[in-house]
Each structure stands twice: as C-alpha cells, then as structure tokens.
Amino acid sequence: MILFSEQNLFASNFPGAADCGTVFSNSTSFKEQRQHLEESFTRDITPEYCAKVYEHGQHIEERYWTTDLIIDEDIELEDDEGSPF
C-alpha cells in the first residue's frame, strides 16, 4: 500500500525515482542494486525529506480521524432517533 499519492511526493523528491524499475529489474545484480540504494540514501534521504514525509502522514491521518468522527456522529444521531441498531 502506498501511503502518499504519494508516489508524487516520492518521485518529486527523488530525481531518479522513475528509473527504479530499470535499476531493480532482474537484469541487475544485487551488488548493483545495493550500490544504488546506498548512494540514494546518502544523497536523497535528508532530514528535510523525512520531516516532509512525517508531516504528510500526519495530515492524512488527521483526515481519516475527522472522517471517522463524522461517521460516529451520524451513527449516534441515528441511535438517538430510536433506531434499534
């Protein structure tokens, strides 16, 4: 499951993200893949990027909680109106 439509957040922050399928295909060796990952982590995973991902996750979680509370209020209103369920 991709948390962020998240693909856009990923792709916009990693210039080589579009090439991941090529880099991690069956035709590349584990050594090449590991080298690519190590370079990417060193170059691309910055504290700023991590903060962005965290903030984005918090925003999405807040939307889910807001929706959940609205649904709960609707259920409570139905119960108050005499519904047996």
Q: pLDDT for 71-82, tens place per residue?
A: 888 887 666 666
Residue of 80, 67, 57 lying closest to 2 (CA atoms)? 57
Residue 15 and residue 53: Cα distance in Å, rounded?
16
Q: Are residues 52 and 72 in the same domain?
A: yes
Domain that holds residue 23: 13-45
- Local confidence band at 37 (pLDDT 50, 70, 90 cut-offs): confident
Q: Are residues 30 and 57 in the same domain?
A: no
Q: Are residues 51 and 84 in the same domain?
A: yes
Q: Write down the mean pLDDT value for the chain.
A: 76
Q: Does any domain span residue 58?
A: yes
Residue 75 and residue 84: Cα distance in Å, rounded?
12
Number of domains within the chain: 2
Q: Are residues 78 and 65 in the same domain?
A: yes
Q: Does any domain span residue 84?
A: yes
Give the whole-number percent of the chain exceeding pLDDT 70: 62
Q: Are residues 55 and 40 in the same domain?
A: no
